[in-house]
Chain A
Amino acid sequence: MKSRITELLGIEYPVFQGGMAWVAEHHLAAAVSEAGGLGIIGAASAPAQVVREEIRKARELTDKPVGVNIMLMNPNAPEVARMVIEEGVKVVTTGAGNPVKFMKEFKEAGVKVIPVVASVAMARMMERGGADAVIAEGMESGGHIGSITTMALLPQVVDAVKIPVIAAGGIGDGRGLAAAFMLGAEAVQMGTRFVVAQESIVHTNYKEKVLKAKDIDSEITGTSTGHPIRQIRNQMSREYLRLEKEGAGLEELEKLTLGSLRRAVMDGDVVSGTLMAGQIAGLVKKKQSCREMIEEIMDEAQGVLKKECERWAR
């Protein structure tokens, strides 16, 4: 059960937990790492000091590697990057931007850098800039998304770069993991499934929405702003889409989204909050511990790979 990714990071299983804003805090990240995957703390727009505390708290819960996701669009990204190096974090994933300007410092500090990419050209550029691996994320994902599906993006990225590729978007069980391996991925990243983990601090109301979601309950808002977001539909998303259709400006739209993820995650406001989740939410039916999830996924992947190999590759 080894790949270049498990070797590179010193983790047991090729499973990352996505660096979701508000959701990916120290309890969840530590639980995933402790179970043998790679837990990731989502820095999102939090001040560097808050993220520093999160890293330290995670370390009280596990000795295994824990990563940090840095949102590069945020003005505080340089500060977070410096802090991550000071804290001796060994793996960083990056979203929403170009990490190359931090690459030299990360490399010198021995930090592995794994950018999230949404296109082949971006993957190639990250490889050339010194990235250790890339996460090819399809538009099935929750939260901020690109426009290509995992099924189409993943093999094209795998062909385009020599560094290892991690698949993300639409993966929620062992079958998804097995499929990603077949397309050339060396690990997967999951978000939505971990939202409902027992260790996740996400409000029960939000978890229930994910557990009850059907395949078609997913909606994309914000296309008109250039920053599309996938979420589970609710009053908030309907209102947002209505305003978008009417051609509302950014200012009016931002009134709806200001603090809306925090309201959903922390306060359980599932009416006016943003319920970010991927299309795979319809498949997520069980609250389990992170360990149960990862072990179940690995067992399932091995089972399905074996069975299908016997059927198709005799």
Chain B
Amino acid sequence: MISEPIEVILAVVLVTIAIATAISFTKVVTKQEIGSERILARSIASLIGDIYSRDFVMNGNLTLREFKNKVGEICTLVWNRTGIWFNVSMYLVYLNGTEIKFYINSTNAARPVGDVVIVTFPVMPGCNNSEIHWYVISYRDPYYKRTIDANHWEGESARFYIVAYSKDGLPVQGGNAQVTLYADATLITTEGAQLINGICKITIDVGIQEGSPAGKYHAFVDYTGPNGENFPTRELWIDLDNGDPVGRAENQMIVNETTLPAYHFYIGDTVYGRSCNRMNLTSIRENITFIGLPETLDDIIYAQGPYNATVENIGDSSTRAHIPIFIFPYTIRIEVIAIAPRG
């Protein structure tokens, strides 16, 4: 029972000391917590960068949607374990320095109020694995043929693209490719070419052949790496349909803004089509369909590496052609926002 003024003063002083103590220690604890959150956010940014570069870009184990889901799972997992809410975004960095931000995913819970820590982490997928990957695609499938007379037929020129790349999606410099073409079992010819910047095109003029028209082209393709590496021969069967073997020629092309045929693009570049207005892009990780041309490569889905572009004029399947393109490496910045609810 407080009965004297002096006792009131004493009580006030003691309470003030207690409050001051509590306040001063709370400040230290908060500072420590922010340091801890910064390390955790940094580790998550790095972890997501690794998942992006290895699983998404280099191995193609994940589609973009699966990658985003994986990021959401990790954010929620860490939230359940630490009570810290995370939000992940990615920035595409163009050659000219422009950046575009894309939201990836966040913790599956309402954004709390609290201290915010923002960590950004640059990512550029790359590896020292010099293993060469290569493939061949036929420009047309099917090619056209026509009967000239009882003993002659004419076939469309066969065109093949040979693409060689390393695990990180970069083009292999050099190496030689060779295509041996048969019409059914009849040898047409063998042609070779050197790969430049990961791609080469080999054209085989079939022209007029004797006998009854073949049913298919049969191609054997070999690639020798820049250091003499040998690989198993690839084999392709391509259908021959009745049609004009000359008229289609090589009209469908992917070109750049100067209208020249192009096979290499950076993120932020625009892909144009010649005699085609739509394409589907296939990579090791996903199929991106119904892309109208021209198309600017300004989406996070366009990761670095080789793509097979199937182009055509809408409504005319005879214009369909397959052309490889490389999207060159670019920088990504991963931003992780960590919010620790306090109050």
Q: Do A and B come from one complex?
A: no
Interface residues of B (CB under 8 A from A): none
